[in-house]
Amino acid sequence: KYTEFSVFYYWINSLGQKTSIYTRLENIAIPSGEENKTATISYDHRIMPPEDTSSTGTYYCEVKWNDIQKTGKGVFVLARGTGYIETSYEWEALITLTTLLAALSIAATALLLWKRKALCPRRNQLNILRQRVETQPPSASPPPPPPVYD
């Protein structure tokens, strides 16, 4: 009763449509002395590489006897047009590093300019100090030396 069966290969796409791939009818002879025993037979079926990416879906194998039907768990296959491409983050890292260094450079320059402005007197203040020195009457003591930052 179980020596004749059919093997079906099919796939179901993302829309739930079932497409038959291959069917074969088997008639297995039982060797003498192996009657009434469970037997396992493996079948390999190769599917050629898909022509396009529309072959994405779950592929199944199904076996049918007269009154019994068994279906495998299925194998999901994702078909891509270009294949797997390793993602490279080299350019992103270089751009990030350059941007970070530019921001730090701008911040350091602004800090240096701010510090210099805080330490050095303005030109107007410098001119006022010079006018005061010039208008003072001459005295016996020599004028003080000019400031170091002048």
pLDDT 10s digits, 27-76: 888 878 877 888 777 777 776 665 656 778 899 999 998 888 999 899 98
pLDDT attached to residue 133? 55
- Name the nearest CA neighbour of 25 among 64, 69, 74: 64
State the total domains in the chain: 2
Determine the residue type at 67: D
Residue 53 lies in a domain: yes
Residues 118 and 71 in one domain: no
Residue 126 has pLDDT above 70, yes or no: no
Residues 68 and 110 in one domain: no
Residue 54 lies in a domain: yes
pLDDT in tens, 66-77: 888 999 899 988
Structure token pair of residue 67: 């009154």
Look over the chain and give the mean of its residue pLDDT values, rounded to a whole number: 78
Tell me the pLDDT band of 121, cut-offs 50, 70 and 90: low
pLDDT attached to residue 11? 86
Phi, psi dihedrals of residue 120, rounded to the nearest 5°: -90, 135
Residues 19 and 54 in one domain: yes
Q: Which domain holds residue 25?
A: 4-77
Residues 10 and 56 in one domain: yes
Strands (DSSP E) contained in the chain are: 4-12, 18-27, 57-64, 69-71, 75-77
- Locate tokens 């350019």: which residue? 91
Tell me the pLDDT band of 100, cut-offs 50, 70 and 90: very high
The pTM for the full model equals 0.47
Residue 95 has pLDDT above 80, yes or no: yes
Structure token pair of residue 97: 């590093």
Which of 77, 97, 113 is at the close of a domain? 77
Residue 144 class from Cβ within 10 Å (0-12 exposed, 13-18 middle, 19+ buried)?
exposed
